[in-house]
């Protein structure tokens, strides 16, 4: 792949950690929270909420026993981790940014479910353990092809079978929208989205012996993602 020779995992992690402990924290904490938002950011909040509702419905269809362990890789401010904990699941909530993990822990404590969640500052490439299921939402979209495959390989090795995640499939129109977004006022810009081509997704599936069970495109205003459920063959 063309990105393989130039991708540096450690530098990429350093960039993500810096962003999500800095401007990214205030930006995404605002979107995930209840702050008044611009039209652009409001559609991102609404799209994200639609995605999480769908993903939670998929989790419930797995018929995991209450108390089952779920890894929330790239938990952000903990919205999905808290939702899982409120519904009886035990959660490992991991994020590369300490500020995100701190906010997640604070909100979980306020909602009385912190005892159901194990918080950890770590990368999705380096987190360890074995879980009944793994979820990873709006995180892999920040990884170019080689980084995506490497991260997916680690996450898939941590689940007994199911992994539910989002990624950005390559689309020419969407690529143009991202380019156009570079001309928005700086405060309205999204972080760079790395789109994955079909052959790269197939490589990730083949290398991990996973197979797609269900997928659904979520599009709402400026929020576009593919929600996917894969299981071991």
What's the total number of domains in the chain?
1
Find the DSSP H helices in 117-208.
Answer: 145-157, 172-181, 198-208
Radius of gyration of the chain (CA): 17
In the prediction, which pLDDT does 58 show? Answer: 98
- Report, as an integer, the average pLDDT of 7-26: 92
SS3 state at 159? strand
> Which class for 173: exposed (0-12), middle (13-18), buried (19 or more C-beta within 10 A)?
exposed
Q: Is residue 24 part of a domain?
A: yes
In the prediction, which pLDDT does 189 show? Answer: 41
In the prediction, which pLDDT does 185 show? Answer: 43
Number of alpha helices (DSSP H) and beta strands (DSSP E) in the chain: 8, 8
CATH classification of the domain holding 164? 3.40.50.150
Q: How far apart are CA 140 and CA 124, in angstroms?
A: 9
Q: Is residue 1 part of a domain?
A: no
Distances (CA, A) of 81 to 39, 111, 135, 191: 27, 12, 10, 23
In the prediction, which pLDDT does 222 show? Answer: 83
Q: Which domain holds residue 103?
A: 9-232
pTM of the model: 0.89
The pLDDT tens digits for 55-80 are 999 999 999 998 999 999 999 999 99
SS3 state at 110? helix
Q: How far apart are CA 170 and CA 178, in angstroms?
A: 12
Q: Is residue 218 part of a domain?
A: yes
pLDDT for 30 beyond 70? yes
């Amino acid at each position: 792949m063309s990105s393989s020779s130039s991708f540096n995992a450690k530098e990429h992690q350093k960039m993500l950690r810096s962003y999500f402990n800095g401007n990214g924290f205030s930006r995404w904490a605002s979107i995930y929270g209840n702050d008044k938002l611009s039209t652009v950011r409001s559609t991102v909040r609404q799209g994200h909420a639609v995605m999480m509702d769908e993903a939670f419905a998929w989790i419930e269809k797995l018929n995991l026993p209450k108390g089952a362990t779920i890894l929330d890789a790239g938990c952000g401010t903990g919205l999905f981790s808290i939702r899982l904990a409120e519904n009886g699941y035990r959660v490992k909530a991991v994020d590369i940014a300490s500020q995100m993990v701190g906010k997640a822990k604070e909100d979980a404590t306020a909602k009385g479910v912190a005892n159901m969640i194990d918080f950890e500052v770590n990368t999705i490439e380096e987190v360890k353990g074995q879980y009944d299921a793994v979820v990873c939402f709006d995180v892999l979209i920040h990884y170019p092809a080689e980084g995506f495959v490497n991260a997916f390989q680690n996450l898939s090795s941590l689940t007994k079978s199911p992994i539910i995640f989002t990624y950005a499939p390559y689309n020419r129109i969407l690529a143009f929208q991202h380019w156009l977004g570079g001309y928005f006022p700086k405060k309205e810009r999204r972080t760079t989205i790395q789109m994955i081509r079909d052959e790269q997704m197939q490589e990730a599936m083949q290398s991990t012996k996973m197979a797609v069970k269900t997928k659904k495109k979520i599009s709402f205003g400026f929020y576009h993602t593919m929600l996917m459920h894969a299981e071991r063959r």
